[in-house]
């Protein structure tokens, strides 16, 4: 399990280094995830040690929502006062995401 955790941390560290020195506009964890995906794609399978770490993290994924829930409860009066603005921002961002995704899919789809 330690070996898998170290491998994941190495990819995150590589992503952070790449973000710091080459691509500062992309977050390091995102670059690390892309590097990990490329590594696993070239390898063809997930090593058992990484699979064990990933499975352990997924089992406790619900714990990661506790800080967000505490934030919602803590700032509930502010959220309630700005509910219309927050709702509008959410709706507009979802519509924009769907539109951009459809456009990219249309551009990348093979032409018949």
**Helices (H), ranges, 26-112:** 28-43, 48-59, 66-74, 76-81, 83-108
Going by pLDDT thresholds of 50, 70 and 90, the confidence category of residue 73 is: very high
What CA–CA distance (Å, rounded) separates 90 from 23? 28
Mean pLDDT on 54-67: 88
pTM metric for this prediction: 0.60
The pLDDT value recorded for residue 30 is 94
Going by pLDDT thresholds of 50, 70 and 90, the confidence category of residue 61 is: confident
Tens digit of each residue's pLDDT (9 = 90 or more) over 9-51? 999 999 999 999 998 899 999 999 999 999 999 999 999 999 9
Going by pLDDT thresholds of 50, 70 and 90, the confidence category of residue 95 is: very high
- Asked if the model's pLDDT at residue 112 lies above 80, the reply is no
What CA–CA distance (Å, rounded) separates 49 from 37? 16
């Amino acid at each position: 399990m330690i070996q898998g955790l170290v491998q994941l941390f190495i990819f995150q560290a590589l992503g952070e280094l790449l973000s710091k020195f080459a691509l500062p506009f992309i977050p390091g964890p995102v670059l690390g995830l892309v590097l990990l995906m490329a590594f696993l794609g070239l390898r063809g399978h997930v090593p058992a040690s990484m699979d064990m770490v990933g499975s352990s993290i997924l089992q406790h994924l619900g714990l990661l929502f506790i800080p967000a829930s505490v934030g919602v409860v803590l700032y509930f009066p502010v959220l309630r006062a700005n509910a219309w603005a927050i709702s509008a921002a959410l709706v507009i961002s979802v519509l924009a995401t769907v539109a951009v995704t459809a456009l990219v899919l249309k551009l990348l789809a093979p032409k018949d």
